[in-house]
Amino acid sequence: MIVRELAAAVAQVLRECGRIDVVVHNAGHMVLGPAEAFTPEQLHEVFDVNAVSTQRLNRAVLRHLRARRDGLVVWIGSTSTRGGTPPYLAPYFAAKAAEDSLAVSYAAELARFGVDTVIVVPGSFTTGTNHFAHAGSAADERVAAQYEAEYAGLLGHVGEKLAEISPPDADPAEVARRVAAVVGMAKGTRPFRVHVDPADDGAEGVNALGDRVRAQFYRRAGLADLLAPRTGAAPPR
């Protein structure tokens, strides 16, 4: 059902607009609680929303970008994949890490089609959003209670401390402004990653190292052209 609905939505955009220039992967849902207390079915659901959903959309829309040899894919990631990782957020962090890995691989695989990639990496915004307020909880209450006995109050402590270290003027709308900025840039000039992290949890430094190692390896492997989208490419015969 979801696949059919996505295909219909893509077809409607193409009918109304004639083409698709930008794809933004922004689906996301947080859960809070000790990792063991989440059922496998819950873990699957978290991965489905935060990572697998991107594959459904990609399979519906990327062929149109590849045919045009142009376009931009924006992935809304998370500093949690590389920065400070407080406890009780494991399923969400793992799913966002999976999304980030997909984004990195897709960037190289789309480069020769002339399709650009940007990974936007927001930090923790505890005000101006309902990210924490609407977070899911672990289904196995018995196991959760055992953790609460040993880690009393930790569930509330995580959100409170993240709010404390975030600047009072942290504005989640800045993420949207950064997305708009990269969309407006010319192909070949966009950054691979854009961090929006008022709390500065360290992800930017770790990502910089990881992306540098990736670039060095690609050059050693003779794949340097995959580090940027091909420009001026003619469609294949």
Q: Select from 213, 212, 174, 205 the least CA-distant residue to 83.
A: 205
What are residue 74's DSSP bridge partners?
24, 118
Q: CB neighbours (10 Å) of residue 92?
A: 23
DSSP string, the chain: -HHHHHHHHHHHHHHHHS---EEEE-----EES-GGGS-HHHHHHHHIIIIIHHHHHHHHHHHHHHHHT--EEEEE--GGGTS---SS-HHHHHHHHHHHHHHHHHHHHHHTTT-EEEEEEE----SSS-TTTT-EE-S-HHHHHHHHHHSTTHHHHHHHHHHHHS-TT--THHHHHHHHHHHTSPTTSS-SEEEE-TT--SHHHHHHHHHHHHHHHHHHTT-GGGGS---SPPPP-
Q: Check if 147 is active-site.
A: no
Give the active site residue among 92, 106, 147, 218.
92
Q: Which amino acid is at 96?
A: K
Q: Cite the active site residues.
A: 92
